[in-house]
């Protein structure tokens, strides 16, 4: 059975057959990337556009299934429908072709599908506004339309393939490479990144590893980069909280310190590092840190007393009195 026939059967069975092209659909002309980390299996979709809240209409993902970017004269239904089809076992090419064949506005679409195996399928419609194009590679596809220059997608592919490190920074490098080629002919406004795990955990709150949006900003990629760094820091904080809850104060201290190193001016990160110094009886190191925090905001001192009642701070009474006197 041909792929589009399979898609039709699925769409009818799920009640998903409907007119695809609606004239009121947003003109989200943009550049984006779908990508997979070959080591971890994590998948990401990231985007930047001169359009408000681009992430709310372009980026879609599901752990264990894949990610989708749908843009140009965007049809948001390609996101959930594409993911549903890939979850049913269709390849990205089968899923994308089936949707395109039943979309009277296909010539205006630019869409990229990537599944949990790293297989990609991409479509740039004949009526997408120049400069428009895409480039595929192992575990990724980059696509762009309404660009100032036709060098954007090649530059994005090169940046993704040559950048090392966490997947979030590799896809960010691709977006920055697009901007270095002058990007969207209209300028810039919003950006987003969505990351999901290669295998579903069964707990939807654990399946999304990153979901960040810059809705409206004069330099959205710079702000997105800041948020990614902040996200990493708070990941250390969350792991530190868990270690603290488990009573492993040595592990918690190390995790809080890693968070603090990323954002040394963040009072909360510094505070929890100092609290774990107290738990580890390293009072000479903790006291000056806490004194500096209390001088900036006395509410942290009030919180410190409450931590004793919650047994998150284990400290002799006389030492607690010293802390409260700082």
Q: Do residues 71 and 58 lie in contact, with contact meaning Cβ atoms separated by under 8 Å?
A: yes
Q: Does a cis peptide bond (omega within 30 degrees of 0) precede residue 87?
A: no
Residue 133 φ then ψ, to 5°: 180, 180
| Other Cβ atoms closer than 10 A to 295 | 11
| The pair of three-digit structure tokens given for residue 110, joined into one six-digit string | 């630019």
Determine contact, residues 77/15, Cβ cutoff 8 Å.
no
pLDDT exceeds cutoff 90 at 65: yes
Tokens read off for 56? 């709310």
The average pLDDT across 82-86 equals: 98
pLDDT for 241 equals 84
Q: What is the pLDDT of residues 237-253, one digit of tens each?
A: 999 888 878 888 789 88
> Quick one: pLDDT at residue 231?
95
Does 301 have pLDDT greater than 90? yes
CA of 263: how far to CAs of 55, 212, 232, 270, 272, in Å?
26, 18, 10, 9, 13
- In the chain, the percentage of residues whose pLDDT exceeds 70 is 91
Is pLDDT at 15 greater than 70 in this prediction? no
The strand ranges marked E within the chain are 27-28, 30-36, 43-49, 59-62, 66-73, 109-115, 120-124, 133-137, 140-144, 190-196, 208-214
Checking if the pLDDT of 96 tops 50, the result is: yes
Question: How many C-beta atoms lie closer than 10 Å to residue 321's C-beta?
Answer: 10
DSSP letters for 46-99: EEEESSTTTHHHHEEEETTTEEEEEEEE--TTHHHHHHHHHHTT--HHHHHHHH
| CA–CA distance, 175 with 69 (Å, rounded to integer) | 14
Contact 102, 8 (CB under 8 A): yes
Structure confidence by residue, pLDDT tens digits, 197-208: 999 998 988 999
User: Which residues lie closer than 8 Å to 321 by C-beta, 6 or more apart?
Assistant: none
Task: Determine the pLDDT at residue 21.
Answer: 44
- The predicted structure's pLDDT at residue 184: 86
The CB-side HSE value for 46 (13 A sphere, CA atoms) comes to: 29
182: three-class secondary structure by DSSP: coil
Distance, CA of 222 to CA of 239 (rounded, Å)? 26
Residue-level pLDDT at 135: 98
Residue 190 — pLDDT band, cuts 50, 70, 90?
A: very high
Q: Tell me, what's the pLDDT at 250?
A: 84
**Three-state secondary structure call for residue 184:** strand
- Look at residue 85 and tell me whether its pLDDT is greater than 90: yes
Which H or E run contains 302? helix 299-309
């Amino acid at each position: 059975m041909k792929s589009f026939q399979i898609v039709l059967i699925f769409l009818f069975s799920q009640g998903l057959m409907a007119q695809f092209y609606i004239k009121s659909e947003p003109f989200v002309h943009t550049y984006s990337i779908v990508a997979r980390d070959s080591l971890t299996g994590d998948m990401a979709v990231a985007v930047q556009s001169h359009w408000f809240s681009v992430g709310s209409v372009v980026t879609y993902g599901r752990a264990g299934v894949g990610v989708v970017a749908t843009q140009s004269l965007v049809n948001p239904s390609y996101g959930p429908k594409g993911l549903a089809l890939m979850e049913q076992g269709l390849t990205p090419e089968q899923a994308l072709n089936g949707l395109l064949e039943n979309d009277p506005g296909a010539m205006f679409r630019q869409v990229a599908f990537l599944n949990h195996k790293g297989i990609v399928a991409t479509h740039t419609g004949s009526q997408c506004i120049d400069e428009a194009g895409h480039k595929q590679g192992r575990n990724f596809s980059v696509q762009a339309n309404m660009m100032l220059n036709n060098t954007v997608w090649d530059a994005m592919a090169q940046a993704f393939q040559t950048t090392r490190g966490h997947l979030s920074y590799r896809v960010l490098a691709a977006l920055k490479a697009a901007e270095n080629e002058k990007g969207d002919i209209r300028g810039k406004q919003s950006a987003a990144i969505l990351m999901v795990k290669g295998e579903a955990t069964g707990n939807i709150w654990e399946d999304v590893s990153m979901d960040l949006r810059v809705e409206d900003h004069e330099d959205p990629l710079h702000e997105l980069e800041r948020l990614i760094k902040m996200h990493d820091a708070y990941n250390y904080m969350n792991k530190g909280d868990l270690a603290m809850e488990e009573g492993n104060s040595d592990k918690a201290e190390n995790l809080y310190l890693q968070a603090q190193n990323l954002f040394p001016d963040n009072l909360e990160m510094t505070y929890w590092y100092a609290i774990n110094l107290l738990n580890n009886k390293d009072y000479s190191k903790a006291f000056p840190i806490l004194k500096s925090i209390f001088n900036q905001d006395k509410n942290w001192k009030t919180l410190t007393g409450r931590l004793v009642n919650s047994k998150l701070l284990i400290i002799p009474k006389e030492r607690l009195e010293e802390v409260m006197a700082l």
